[in-house]
Amino acid sequence: MMTDRELIKNLKKLDKIQPSKHWLVLLRRNLIARVDYDIEIERERSERFGFLFGWLGSFQSTALAVSLVFIFVFGPWLAIKAAENSLPGDLLYSVKKASEDVQKTVANSEEKPRLQVEFASRRLEELSRVNQDIDDSSEKTEKSKEIIIDFRDNLASVSQQIKDISSKDKAVIVAKETMKLSENLAKAKSEASSEVKDDIAEAEKSIEKINEEILTVLTSDKGENDESAATTTLDQEIIIYLRASTSTDEEVLPEN
């Protein structure tokens, strides 16, 4: 298997290469198909951890009084589960967001970027449901903008926190999640109303910045002599994709 030092040396040869948009699309599609399973495993672990602590966040605001009654009667675990499918404006949406806030609070610095990407993925799921389930255009636009604001806040946090990752293994996990997030964002943009497309376009730029920062972590010399820093073939291909996609000015979108 290629060592980190050999990988970094070979990646530097890509600096003068301008990959085609079609090649990048095919590479991303192939990688996403292979990382989906890894993402689900990581999310299951995170959810088990989140259920232990998420209910504590319900005490952050008096506006959650009704939700607290629900929690008292049915238990914190059921309250968190019931809130999973809530949308902005729903009774239990504050429970959902409070649960996320507590998970971010108790997570260590290297785990926070992955959590933020996971929560950003939830915002895209919410955006998709708003587009599909709400018919009133003004209500749809209002909820969509609220979701996108939260989505961009998640991305901003990832961008700030990614530098705190010292483990390349954890950086690869964030890269996998971000790659899937980028694909879903492109889909959300195609489904969204014209009123929010510009907001989504700004979010796409944020993901590009995150990719650059992840690449910096993955190609740094830090930890190159640590056996745990050894990369798999899939990890190496992800790095190649990030290197190629950040070296081209073309916008890489999924093909139909």
Asked if residue 113 lies in contact with residue 162, where contact means CB atoms within 8 angstroms, the answer is yes
Q: Rounded to the nearest 5°, which phi and psi values hold at 84?
A: -55, -40
Please give the model's pTM, rounded to 2 decimal places.
0.69
Q: Rounded to the nearest 5°, which phi and psi values hold at 55?
A: -65, -25
- Of the chain, the percentage scoring pLDDT greater than 90 comes to 21
Residue 48 pLDDT > 80: no
Residue-level pLDDT at 233 = 72
Residue 252 pLDDT > 80: no
Mean pLDDT is lowest, of 26-35, 108-117, 195-204, for 26-35
Residue-level pLDDT at 230 = 44
Determine the Cα angle at 136 with ends 154 and 100, to 5°.
25
CA contacts within 13 A on the Cβ side of 119: 28
pLDDT category of residue 194 using cuts at 50, 70 and 90? confident
Asked if residue 208 lies in contact with residue 24, where contact means CB atoms within 8 angstroms, the answer is no
pLDDT category of residue 54 using cuts at 50, 70 and 90? very low
How is the chain split into domains, by residue range?
4-245
Q: Which residue has the higher pLDDT, 74 or 172?
A: 172
For residue range 8-44, list pLDDT tens digits in order. Answer: 555 555 555 555 666 566 666 666 665 665 556 555 5
Residue 144 pLDDT > 90: yes
Residue matched to tokens 């299951």: 44
Residue 190 pLDDT > 60: yes
Residue 84 pLDDT > 90: no
Residue-level pLDDT at 240 = 76
